[in-house]
Amino acid sequence: MQKIRNIAVIAHVDHGKTTLVDGLLEQSGTYGAHEQHDERAMDSNALEKERGITILSKNTAIRYKDYKINIIDTPGHADFGGEVERVLKMVDGVLVLVDAYEGVMPQTKFVVKKMLALGKKPIVVINKIDKPSADPERVVDEMFDLFAAMDATEDQLDFPIIYAAARDGIAKLDMSHPDGNFECIFETILSQIPEPVGDKENSTQAQVFTLDYDNYVGKIGISRIFNGVIRKGDNIMLAKADGEMVKGKISKLIGFHGLNRMEIQEAEAGDIVAFAGLETVDVGDTICDSKNPMPLDPMHIEEPTLTVVFSVNDSPLAGQEGKHVTSNKLKDRLEAEMTTNVAMKLEVVGEGKFKVSGRGELQITILAENMRRENFEFGVSRPEVIVKEIEGIKCEPFEHLVIDVPEEFSGAVIEKLGKRKAEMKSMIPMGQGFQRIEFEIPARALIGFRGQFLTDTKGEGIMNHSFLEFRPYSGSVESRTYGALISMENGETLAYSLFNIQDRGVLFIGPQTKVYEGMIVGEHSRSNDLVVNPIKGKAQSNVRSSGADEAIKLIPFRDMSLERALEWIEDDELLEITPKSIRIRKKYLSENERKRYSRK
């Protein structure tokens, strides 16, 4: 009998997956007494730590009694759904986390649907029961209704329930019981999650579900062994998704324990290990016995729904802040991203232009943010949805949108979404003056909506959405209602000129900022674009008069983050991204050029 259990932790964003894995590592005694570890230890990437979100799925292993439990922590954002899909194929059971107040959210539905379709055994963890507004009983009913609506089997509907406050290391099997530790979670995993199927006597079969890179050993494939035994130094056959067979040798075999990786000599069916030595390895490839190769089915990953164009930066300030500015460097970096990120696609569309398709704006802005930190300089166009033709009908992606808003703002939000072709499906009071409203909406109608939504709800609204399906094209959708304030000169901005411009709209930049002709310096208060001069100084004269030297008071400018700027721009605008700056500009910099192209 194999003393191994493989589980994935899945949930909507911010429901506490990584914090729960922290607690499991802590309470299983995996950390040594002297070991220092950070909060949310599995979020190792710098961007993950800053934003408090998981971007890449990562695995760890803990020892409990004489069992080895492999745990995979997954992202919660819909944009990284590709990571969750392939991880679920590698495990035998799933911990489904749900917030005790928020309940079932769009991404909960998405991951539960995938899990049930693959026939995995769920354990439901109602997390954050210590919240003052928590209502665990309602959330349990919601989960049961969700499983029933998704055609769960009798076995899946009979799911065990654990109530937890992961941050405090508390868990119990019944709300009436006194608070206990995570022992009940470990025991439930051992009793409810089936042991891995597969036999170490069979021919070797292991499938790669995620990739890593090491400067010393090159590409590392992290895989689940379904059959047979893998040893360091084995000659194996790598079966690619397109049917190609590549001979190779395992130069290094790596096992997991807590946050550490250690070299091991062999691993057998049921375990999750990493290996090096195969430079051509990709996600979904199968490692087979070289004498008797039997590939597993390649993985199906859902198609991207959004596309942007990355281009070489050609602004007047190009090359002043970044190190990598050529199209060759840009192409190499994007190709490298595609090797580890299977949910994205790359296409060369012209000289120095590359079309990148992904699952959402967040996925694309994470890539752009990582690139600017690596000293790249480039331009990004407005996101567009991918339109498909299905059975002769033009179709576009639709999203399932869930918003939680204070009741007094719900009318304004419903009105704005109505103009964007959203169809309201339900409205439920959530207590404490909040309402939850669900919509089905074209994906392109959500581009640029978040900023307006936060303004309308005074920052109190929460919106979440996940991909629903492709539906017939729904016609034109209202986009940005305000024009842009465009610089007419090259130079440095002056407080005096900005003081005079700020009455015309909202500024995006402050004084002593480099600008150029065609760069956007703010949002006009009307629907048309306005050309302004932000570098004009005050004319000096030797005549003094009372009241002429009034103090210049500048209203704080709107700081445009990468996500905010990408949502704000229109089709004739670009984002210029450098390691130090994010600038918004028109595609055609001079006013004459813009007029000429607008007539076409």
**Inside any domain, residue 283:** yes
Same-domain check for residues 188 and 122: yes
Q: Which of 367, 385, 403 finishes a domain?
A: 385
Same-domain check for residues 74 and 18: yes
Same-domain check for residues 33 and 160: yes
| Range of the structural domain that residue 425 is part of | 388-472
The answer to whether the annotation marks 130 as part of a ligand binding site is: yes
Smallest CA-to-CA distance from 438 within 421, 448, 423 is with 423
How many other CB atoms are found less than 10 A from the CB of residue 172?
A: 18
Degrees, nearest 5: CA angle 411-570-464: 40
SS (H, E, C) 107-151: HHHHHHHHHHHCCCEEEEEEECCCCCCCCHHHHHHHHHHHHHHCC
DSSP letter for each residue of 175-194: TTSPPB-THHHHHHHHHHSP
The Cα 547–Cα 91 span in angstroms is: 75
**Inside any domain, residue 299:** no
How many other CB atoms are found less than 10 A from the CB of residue 585?
A: 26
Same-domain check for residues 314 and 209: no
The answer to whether the annotation marks 129 as part of a ligand binding site is: yes
Cα dist. 303→82, 111, 339 in Å? 9, 16, 16
Same-domain check for residues 169 and 211: no
227 touches 199 (CB < 8 A): yes
CATH number reported for the structural domain that contains residue 345 in this entry = 3.30.70.870
Residues 6+ apart with CB under 8 A from 487: 515, 516, 517, 518, 519, 520, 521, 531, 532, 533, 534, 535
509 touches 485 (CB < 8 A): no
**Inside any domain, residue 300:** no
**Inside any domain, residue 479:** no
The answer to whether the annotation marks 215 as part of a ligand binding site is: no
Segment (H or E) for 11: strand 4-11
83 touches 74 (CB < 8 A): yes
- Residue 74 Cα to chain centre, angstroms: 11
Smallest CA-to-CA distance from 150 within 114, 102, 100 is with 114
CATH number reported for the structural domain that contains residue 418 in this entry = 3.30.70.240
**Inside any domain, residue 68:** yes
- Residue 457 Cα to chain centre, angstroms: 24
The answer to whether the annotation marks 189 as part of a ligand binding site is: no
272 touches 256 (CB < 8 A): yes
Same-domain check for residues 52 and 169: yes
Residue 365 has a pLDDT of: 85
CATH number reported for the structural domain that contains residue 512 in this entry = 2.40.50.250
The Cα 598–Cα 225 span in angstroms is: 58
CATH number reported for the structural domain that contains residue 263 in this entry = 2.40.30.10
pTM, two decimals, is 0.75
Segment (H or E) for 273: strand 272-276
Same-domain check for residues 352 and 418: no
**Inside any domain, residue 61:** yes
Positive/negative CA dihedral, 588, 592, 598, 599: negative
The answer to whether the annotation marks 15 as part of a ligand binding site is: yes
422 touches 439 (CB < 8 A): yes
**Inside any domain, residue 297:** no
Residue written as tokens 């209502």?
135
Residues 6+ apart with CB under 8 A from 516: 315, 316, 317, 487, 490, 585, 589
The answer to whether the annotation marks 128 as part of a ligand binding site is: yes
Which residues make beta-bridge pairs with 575?
380, 584
- What tokens does 138 get? 């309602």
Residues 6+ apart with CB under 8 A from 540: none
The answer to whether the annotation marks 17 as part of a ligand binding site is: yes
How many other CB atoms are found less than 10 A from the CB of residue 558?
A: 15
CB contact burial 208-219 (16+ within 10 A = b; e otherwise): bbbbbeeeeeeb
End-to-end Cα separation, the chain, in angstroms = 72
The Cα 549–Cα 500 span in angstroms is: 14
Cα dist. 287→209, 214, 218 in Å? 12, 20, 17
Residues in the chain: 600
Same-domain check for residues 46 and 118: yes
Same-domain check for residues 101 and 217: no
Which residues make beta-bridge pairs with 257?
260
Residues 6+ apart with CB under 8 A from 543: none
**Inside any domain, residue 477:** no
- Residue 552 Cα to chain centre, angstroms: 42
Number of structural domains, the chain? 5
Q: Which of 446, 472, 498 finishes a domain?
A: 472
Q: Which of 357, 385, 413 finishes a domain?
A: 385
Residue 167 has a pLDDT of: 84
- Kindly give the pairing relationship between strand 121-127 and strand 161-165: parallel
The Cα 365–Cα 50 span in angstroms is: 14
Cα dist. 220→43, 60, 258, 367 in Å? 19, 16, 18, 21
CATH number reported for the structural domain that contains residue 139 in this entry = 3.40.50.300
Same-domain check for residues 81 and 158: yes
10-residue mean pLDDT profile of the chain (600 residues): values are: 80 78 75 50 54 61 84 70 74 87 79 83 88 87 87 85 86 83 87 83 83 75 85 83 81 80 83 83 81 77 82 89 88 83 82 86 84 91 87 87 87 88 87 85 84 82 80 80 89 89 90 91 90 85 64 84 86 90 90 82
Same-domain check for residues 497 and 512: yes
Cα dist. 309→173, 197, 380, 381, 597 in Å? 51, 44, 6, 5, 20
Which residues make beta-bridge pairs with 10?
96
Smallest CA-to-CA distance from 149 within 194, 123, 107, 113 is with 113
The answer to whether the annotation marks 127 as part of a ligand binding site is: yes
Same-domain check for residues 284 and 218: yes
Smallest CA-to-CA distance from 17 within 90, 104, 69, 94 is with 94
Degrees, nearest 5: CA angle 432-436-442: 155
Residues 6+ apart with CB under 8 A from 549: none
Which residues make beta-bridge pairs with 67?
64
Under DSSP, the state recorded for 203 is P
Residue 312 has a pLDDT of: 92
Residue 34 has a pLDDT of: 44
